Amino acid sequence: MPPKWSLGYHQCRWSYESAEKVKEIARTFRDKGIPCDVIWMDIDYMDGFRCFTFDKVSVLRLVIGWEHFSDPESMVNDLHARGFKAIWMLDPGIKKEDGYFVYESGSENNVWIKKADGEPFVGEVWPGPCVFPDFTQQSTRLWWANLVKDFISNGVDGIWNDMNEPAVFKTVTKTMPVSNIHRGDPELGGCQNHFHYHNVYGMLMARSTQEGMKMANSNKRPFVLTRAGFIGSQRYAATWTGDNLSNWEHLHMSLSMVLQLGLSGQPYSGPDIGGFAGNATPKLFGRWMGLASFFPFCRGHSEKRTADHEPWSFGVECEEICRLALLRRYRLLPHIYTLFYLAHTKGTPVTTPVFFADSTDAKLRNVENSFLLGPLLICARFVQLIIRGKGRFGYFDGSIPKPSSTDPSFANWDIQNSMVMACLICDIVPEICDKMTVRREEERCRIMLGGSSMASASSINSKSSTPLPWLLNTLTLAALASRFGPTTPKKPLGSFTANP
């Protein structure tokens, strides 16, 4: 089970350049009332990209008086006081440098991957020439876990394993030669070349990282995010869909990727909201937030030299869209948390394709713009929903039918003992909505909840003038209120703590 706080919204960038900038981001989230639980530190927090170090002096200190990350514990204490967690990146490439304690320790313990001639393999990554731990050995995994355990003492709440395919610069394959040698444990296959172990390298690194976090505090659930994985990696880490682009095609692809990862056994995944590379528009960012706020892993992330991609960076209208979308994610956290428990105990995905509702309906297997968030919530495009007694409903495009309609084109599903809720989120209309429009739309919805009643959302399609593209409608809010209590969170935003 993941820690509960990790199901909230995460904010990341490559990179927030100083502790002061991180604290400014945290303050802004709270001042604006936008839900957020986690802020991430990308690779630039390190001293020269050396893992397990902090860059304590920067040019910023000389120019404007800012220190970089001179006192990470103090910064983390400030974040914790505001209800945030802090996640820090660790890569597998260890700088080959005499005097660097991680390199010295690894060499003493003979943990590096070897070339065919028996010498440690050296490849170029962010710090320059690097060596790479051989995570196929239990002794190496224990060595790394102890480094992680000591690293946690700085107030680290979670760890991000990036570049762990492993990625290597200045090579055609973008990774190390397949002729490199791993001295793997017998149960993993023993001594084999990299061709044999390449696909499991990232998973074994995530496993070692998670074990180190458990060693640091066995009473806390660890959180690890990994870029590379394999079958079984869901036992150790969440994953994300990689370096995407800020465009509509990648927004559409993100849904299919999350669903396919779930079907492949990884229930905890999500994209970089708004796109990692390039500059999102307000329309794109708002729609992406509306969709991804229902994904298992919900994180905004962007690269260097792009415009700011925090929720307030696109104007007040888009900011309000993001605020409402995330508030509604937080109201759904009891449901999402339950789905993670089912994933943990039964292996069921958190998000599923709509054909999970009726495996006999072949038409549902072609639906790529809608999904289920458990049997309780349907996230759909061009949706009108009719609830017809005891959880039976029809899902379709077009005009609202009469309750007695028996049109065979409807996809009729039975969901036992569930309250069905409609969600209007993505690809519906082009305009950015404002508060008044949202209120007018909610007033038009007639909601009647009960055993034999009918509830319908007003007609919305791609040509509609109603600007409600990213928001749950009133039906969802009423259903949530009846099931989970008041819609206003009782705790301050960001105060979700992990239970052992």
For residue 67, pLDDT over 70 is answered with no
pTM above 0.95, yes or no: no
Q: How sure is the predictor about 439, in pLDDT bands with cuts at 50, 70 and 90? A: very low
The per-residue pLDDT for range 98-147, each reduced to its tens digit, is 999 999 999 999 999 999 999 999 999 999 999 999 999 999 999 999 99
Helix 474-484 and helix 316-331, axial crossing angle in degrees, nearest 10: 40
3-class DSSP state of 63: helix
Mean pLDDT of 372-395: 56
- More confident of the two residues 18 and 387: 18
The answer to whether 388 and 377 are in contact (CB under 8 A) is: no
Tokens found for residue 410: 């409807």
Any idea of the CA torsion for 149, 151, 153, 156, to the nearest 10 degrees?
Answer: -110
Q: In the 8-state DSSP scheme, what is residue 278?
A: S
Q: What percent of the chain has pLDDT over 70?
A: 74
Question: Are the beta carbons of 284 and 247 closer than 8 angstroms?
Answer: yes
**What pLDDT, on a 0 to 100 scale, did the predictor assign at position 380?**
77
What does the alpha-carbon distance between residue 343 and residue 418 come to, in Å, rounded to a whole number?
A: 18
Burial of 359 (0-12, 13-18, 19+ CB in 10 A): exposed
What confidence score (pLDDT) does residue 145 get?
A: 98
Residue 465, pLDDT above cutoff 80:
no
Structure tokens, 256? 């299919």
- Domain 4-340 part of CATH 3.20.20.80: yes
pLDDT exceeds cutoff 70 at 418: no
pLDDT, position 429: 26
At residue 68, the pLDDT reads: 84
Can you give the pLDDT at residue 78?
97
Structure tokens at 353: 């394709």
Res. 412: pLDDT tops 50 = no
pLDDT at 62: 52
pLDDT of residue 485: 37
| Whole-angstrom distance, CA of residue 391 vs CA of residue 419 | 6
Outline which parts of the chain fall under CATH 3.20.20.80: 4-340
pLDDT tens readout for residues 440-455: 333 322 222 222 222 2
pLDDT-derived band of residue 378, with 50, 70 and 90 as boundaries?
A: confident
> Whole-angstrom Cα distance, residue 8 to residue 160?
16
The residues that are catalytic are: 162, 165, 243
